[in-house]
């Protein structure tokens, strides 16, 4: 069940975010960034419109530049994190982000039992909506995320499922925007497994009007449904979405080369077989040399040096992996603020 009018503070301006304005220009006293329509959950990048996605990056940039103005924005809000898989970055950036906004985070370790095993997801949702203000979920099945979003009246955030990793993709596009400016001119290449990270990057590229090439071995391409959805969104934004099976062709002329682990969490039994299959897709200095002059290297982390990427690439000055990791914090704060109406509770610094 969705409650689109849950928070009247999220009633938004009609015009799209003014992406061309600087953070300084946006710091007009009392102005809160608002989006063109309310966002109720972030289960997938596809929950966002292009304007909402741009608005989230705009808010994230503001939160990054002026964190002190949002210290009490989530005061009194309780947010629960349920994680079925390990996490370093996602858990800590959510917990730290929630506390820095004045909210309270509760972590529930689901490593040994999956959500919905002990009782129906719908019953859990109807309990949780009476106790807390938002849920952050890291799951195996994507249906666990969409199920809790469907049955609860509180916002649900996907902090990685087998299908998508939207918080990561938003942080990655904030990083690209910081490095290159206009996202409509950016060509991102992802090489490796057509997995959850690849799915979210394709949908993000589509929303931001960027150009993405995904290079995978045959049989490891992104899901056809995601490609279709990304191309449908791209038709309205000018983005281009390509999937190829040749790593050199994929990287040719790219502004950013991105890779991820070959065996995602839950696929550990396939590690050896995948190491053989993905060998040609290693990001080596030789493969990287096919990218554009000044190209950056990206990875969501954790990385395996000597497998999907050589140390000579990930540890080079071209690597922006720690900028990506930092931006997880700012983007997730923006997501929470938007979902919980916190942007309107910003306290802008007054300059007289």
Q: Which residues belong to the active site?
A: 138, 165, 168, 260, 300, 328
Closest CB 169 distance from ligand NVA, rounded Å? 11
**Does residue 259 belong to the site contacting ligand CP (CB under 6 A)?**
no
CA 17 to chain centre: 19
CA 106 to chain centre: 21
Closest CB 196 distance from ligand NVA, rounded Å? 5
Decide which of ligand CP, ligand NVA, none touches 195; Cβ closer than 5 to 8 Å per partner kind: ligand NVA
The angle formed by the CA atoms of residues 83, 113 and 222, to the nearest 5 degrees, is 55
User: Applying CB under 6 A, which part among 33-41, 215-223, 228-236, 257-265 lies near ligand NVA?
Assistant: 257-265
C-beta closer to ligand NVA: residue 71 or 304? 304
Site for ligand CP in 284-303 (CB under 6 A): 300-301
Reduced to 3 states (helix: H, G, I; strand: E, B; else coil), residue 178 is helix
Site for ligand CP in 137-196 (CB under 6 A): 160, 168
The strand pair at 256-259 and 296-299 is best described as parallel
Cα Rg of the chain (Å, integer):
20
Q: Which segments within 25-99 are labelled E, that is strand?
A: 78-83
**Does residue 88 belong to the site contacting ligand CP (CB under 6 A)?**
yes
User: Applying CB under 6 A, which part among 18-26, 30-38, 150-158, 190-198 lies near ligand NVA?
Assistant: 190-198
Decide which of ligand NVA, ligand CP, none touches 88; Cβ closer than 5 to 8 Å per partner kind: ligand CP
Closest CB 147 distance from ligand NVA, rounded Å? 19
Residues 334, 92: Cα–Cα separation, whole Å = 16
Q: Which residue is nearest to ligand CP (CB)?
A: 90
Beta bridge partners of 104: 78
C-beta closer to ligand CP: residue 199 or 345? 199
DSSP 319: B
Residues 141, 110: Cα–Cα separation, whole Å = 13
141 CB contacts (<8 Å, ≥6 apart)?
114, 161, 162
Binding test (CB under 6 A) with ligand NVA, winner from 60, 124, 136, 300: 300
C-beta closer to ligand NVA: residue 38 or 192? 192
Q: Is the peptide bond before 283 cis (omega within 30 degrees of 0)?
A: no
3-state per-residue secondary structure call for 290-318:
CCCCCCEEEECCCCCECCCECHHHHCCCC
How many positions of this chain bind ligand CP (CB under 6 A)? 8
Decide which of ligand CP, ligand NVA, none touches 261; Cβ closer than 5 to 8 Å per partner kind: ligand NVA
Residue in 87, 151, 36 with CA at minimum distance from that of residue 332: 87
55 CB contacts (<8 Å, ≥6 apart)?
16, 17, 33, 34, 35, 36, 338
**Does residue 197 belong to the site contacting ligand NVA (CB under 6 A)?**
yes
C-beta closer to ligand NVA: residue 151 or 190? 190
Closest CB 184 distance from ligand CP, rounded Å? 26
Binding test (CB under 6 A) with ligand NVA, winner from 216, 264, 327, 332: 264
C-beta closer to ligand CP: residue 301 or 344? 301
Residues 54, 19: Cα–Cα separation, whole Å = 7
Consecutive H or E run containing 134: strand 134-138
Binding site for ligand NVA (CB under 6 A): 160, 195-197, 260-261, 264-265, 300
Interface residues toward ligand CP, by CB under 6 A: 87-90, 160, 168, 300-301
């Amino acid at each position: 069940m969705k409650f689109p009018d849950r928070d009247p503070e999220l009633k938004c301006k009609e015009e799209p975010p003014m992406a061309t304005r600087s953070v300084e220009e946006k710091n007009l006293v009392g102005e809160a960034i608002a989006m063109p329509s309310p966002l109720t959950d972030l289960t997938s990048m596809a929950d966002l419109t292009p304007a909402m996605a741009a608005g989230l990056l705009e808010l994230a940039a503001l939160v990054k530049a002026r964190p002190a103005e949002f210290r009490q924005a989530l005061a009194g809000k309780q947010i629960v994190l349920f994680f079925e898989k390990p996490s370093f970055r996602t858990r800590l950036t959510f917990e730290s982000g929630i506390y820095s906004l004045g909210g309270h985070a509760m972590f529930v370790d689901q490593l040994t039992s999956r959500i919905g095993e002990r009782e129906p997801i719908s019953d859990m949702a109807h309990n949780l909506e009476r106790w807390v203000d938002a849920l952050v979920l890291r799951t195996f099945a994507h249906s666990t995320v969409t199920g809790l979003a469907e049955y609860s009246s509180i916002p649900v955030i996907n902090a990685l499922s087998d299908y998508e990793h939207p918080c990561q993709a938003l942080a990655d596009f904030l990083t690209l925007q910081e490095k290159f400016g206009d996202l409509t001119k950016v060509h991102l290449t992802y090489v490796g497994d057509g997995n959850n990270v690849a799915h979210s990057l394709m949908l993000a590229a589509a929303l931001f009007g960027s150009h993405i090439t995904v290079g995978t071995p045959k049989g490891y391409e992104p899901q056809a449904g995601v490609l279709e959805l990304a191309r449908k969104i791209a038709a309205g934004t000018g983005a281009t979405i390509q999937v190829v099976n040749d790593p050199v062709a994929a990287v040719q002329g790219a502004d950013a080369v991105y890779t991820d682990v070959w065996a995602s969490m839950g696929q550990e039994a396939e590690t050896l077989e995948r190491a053989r299959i993905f060998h040609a897709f290693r990001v080596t200095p030789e493969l990287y040399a096919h990218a554009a002059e000044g190209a950056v290297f990206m990875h969501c982390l954790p990385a395996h040096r000597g497998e999907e990427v050589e140390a000579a690439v990930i540890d080079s000055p071209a690597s922006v992996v720690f900028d990506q990791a930092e931006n997880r914090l700012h983007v997730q704060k923006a997501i929470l603020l938007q979902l919980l109406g916190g942007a309107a509770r910003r306290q802008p610094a007054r300059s007289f």
